[in-house]
Chain A
Amino acid sequence: MSQYLVRRLITFIPTLFGISIIIFFVMHLIPGDTITAMIGTSFKLTEAQTAALRAYFGLDKPLPVQYLRWLWAALQGNFGYSARDALPVLPLILDHFPLTLELSVFSMAIALLLGVPLGIYAAVKRDTTIDLAARTFALVGLAMPNFWLGMLIILVLSLYLGLAPNAGNYVGFFVNPLANLKEMIFPAITLGFASTADVMRMVRSSMLEELGQDYARTARAKGLSERAVFLRHCLKNALIPVVTIVGLETGYLFCGAIIVESVYALPGIGWLLLNGITERDYPVIQGTILFISFCFVLVNLVTDLVYAWVDPRIRYE
C-alpha cells in the first residue's frame, strides 16, 4: 500500500503543475492589457506610468518568468489581491469556501442516503415496476439541468406552499444549525439530485453484476436464502465502485455548486467566482479557479487511495 501511495503522490504533483500552467496561460488569452484590467478604464495613465506599473508587477518579463513568479507566490499562499477592493484573494476564498463545502457534503450525503438503497432495491427487484421507476428517475436525474431543478423547487415552494427560501441571510452551521439547515436543505437537494441518480445507477448495475458472479451462485447452491446472498455476500463487493463515484461526484459537486449558489443566491465560492467574472476581477477569477481545481484533484487523489485500500487488486496493477 505504501508503494502505491508513493506512486500516486508522484503523479499528483505534475497534475497540479499542469493545472497551474493551463490557468496561467488561459488568463493570458484575455484580450486587453493586464494593467488596464487591474486599474479599470476610468483612469487614464500616461505611457510612463503604465511602463512603471508593468515593471512593478513584473509584466515586462517573459511569460515563463512571469509564470514561475506567480507559481512561487501561489505556493506561499499569495494568490494576489482583488482588483475591486484590494483584499488578498486567498482569505477571501477561505471565507466563502465553507458554504460551498457544506453544500457539497450535504448533497453527497443525500446522494448516498437515497442512491445506495434505491440502487440495491432496484437490483433486487429487477424488471419490476419499482425497478422501472428507479431507472426512469436515473434517466431524468441525469438529463435535468440543476439550475432548472432549483428554479422549479423555488417555484413550487414559493408559489404553492408559500415558503420562499430566504435568500441572502446565510448563517454558518456552527452558529445556528437549525437556521442553517433550513436554508441549505433545498440547495442541497437541487445539487444532489443528479448525483443521487448517478449513484443509484452505479449501485444497481454493480449489484446486478455481483449477483451474477460464481460466488453468488455458490452461496445460493449451498442453500442460503436470497436475502443472505444479497446482504452477506454481494452487497460489500457491489459497493466498491461507489467509492470511485463518490470521489468523482464530489469534484463535480464543487463545480455544480457554482450554478446552484447563483440560483439560490448563496454566498459561496461560486458566487465569488461569478462576481469576479461580472466585475472582471481577474485575480479573484484566477484564484478561485485554481482553488476549486486543486480541491478537485485532491478529492480524486483521496478517492484513489481509499479505492486501493478497499480493493487490494488495484494496488498490484
Chain B
Amino acid sequence: MSAILKFVRYRSAFVGSVIVAIYCCLAIFPGLVAPYSPLDQHPIDRLRPPNATYWLGTDEFGRDQLSRIIYGARNSMGIALSSIAIALFFGTVLGMIAGYFGGAADSIIMRIMDMFFAFPSLLLALFIVTALGPGAGNTILAIALVYLPIFARVARAPVLTLKEREFVQAAVLIGARDSRILVRHILPNLLAPLIVTATLALSWAVLTEAGLSFLGLGTVPPNPSWGSMLSDSKTLMEFAPWTTIFPGLAILFCVLGFNFLGDGLRDVLDPRIRA
C-alpha cells in the first residue's frame, strides 16, 4: 500500500503511467476510438489538412491519419511489448544461471552476451532484420536479441551477492533444489531492477521499431506504423506537413511516457537512488 501511495506522490511515475495507460488502451481497443479503418482509402479526400472530418488530416491515399496513428499504436506497442517480454524472460533466465552457478556456465553465457554488447544496438537490430527479412515477427525477434544481454547483466549482478546470503544458504541446507532456490528465493529480489530496466527498454524498443520501419525494414505496408508513416511523408512533407508532424508526436509521447514511468519506478522501487 505504501508503495502505491509513494507512486502517486512521484509525479513523473504518475504522468508516465497515465500516458502509457492511454497508449495501451489505444493499442488494445483501436476500433473503439479510431473514426475510420486505417486501410480505408478516400480518393476524393487525398492530402486533406486537419479538419472536422479528418482531425489529423489524410495521407496521399486519402487514409485518415488519426486512425492510422491509433492502429499504429497497436503495432508499435505490440512489437515493443513482445520483444521486451522475450528479452526479459530469456535474459533473466540466462543471467540467473550465470550468476548462480558461476564457473564455466557464467563464462560462456556472459562472453556471448559481451559479443552482442559490442554492437551498437540499432545496427544489430538492422542487421538481424536484414538477414531475416522485414515483418512484425522478425522485428520482434531482432529487438529481443538486441536487448536480451542487458537483462542478463541486470539479473546476474545481484545474484552474485544474493547466493551468499543466509536465506539462500539455509534453503541449500534444507535440501531445496537449485530451480526452487532460483525461482522462490532469488527471483523476487531481482524484480525491482528488472521492472525498471524493462520499462526503460520499452521506450528504446519503440524508438528502434520506428527507426527500422522508417528505413523500410520493420512493419510491412500497408499496415500502419509510425515509422513507416514518417517514411511515406518524406516526399509529401512540403505540401502536407501534417503527415510529418503527427506520427512523430505519437512516437515522442509514447517514448516520454515509458521514460517517465521508468524513472518514476526507479525512484519508488530502488531505495538506494532515492536521496
Contact = CB atoms under 8 A, between A and B. Distances in A.
Interface of A: 14-15, 18-19, 21-23, 26-27, 29-31, 139-140, 142-145, 147-148, 151-152, 154-155, 158-159, 251-252, 254-256, 258-259, 262-263, 273-274, 277-278, 285, 289, 292-293, 296-297
Contacts of B127: 23, 26, 285, 289
Contact of A293 (B120, B131, B215, B234): B120
B207 A145 contact: yes
B95 interface: no
A148 B256 contact: no
Interface stretch (B30-38, B63-71, B85-93, B244-252): B244-252
Q: Which 9 residue pairs spanning A and B have beta carbons closest together? A: A18-B115, A148-B248, A255-B120, A143-B255, A29-B131, A143-B256, A255-B123, A30-B131, A255-B122
B108 interface: no
Interface centre among B115, B238, B252, by most A CB within 10 Å?
A: B115
Given A19-B115, A140-B256, A292-B120, A277 B130 contact: yes
Contacts, number: 119
B131 A296 contact: no
Nearest to B130: A277
Contacts of B244: 148, 151-152, 155
B211 A259 contact: yes
A274 B123 CA distance: 11
A183 B260 CA distance: 36
A21 B115 CA distance: 9
B206 to A, nearest CB: 9
A147 B233 contact: no
Interface in B201-230: 203, 207, 210-211, 214-217, 227, 230
A147 B212 CA distance: 11
Contact of A139 (B122, B214, B259): B259
Contacts of B120: 251-252, 254-255, 292-293, 296
B130 A140 contact: no
Q: How large is the interface on B (under 10, 10 to 19, 20 to 34, 35 or more residues)?
A: 35 or more
16 contacts: A14-B111, A18-B112, A29-B131, A29-B132, A143-B255, A145-B214, A145-B248, A145-B255, A152-B245, A255-B121, A258-B122, A262-B215, A263-B234, A296-B119, A296-B123, A297-B118
Contacts of B237: 151, 154-155
B129 to A, nearest CB: 9
A258 B126 contact: yes
B132 A18 contact: no
B241 interface: yes
B9 to A, nearest CB: 18
Contact of B119 (A19, A151, A259): A19
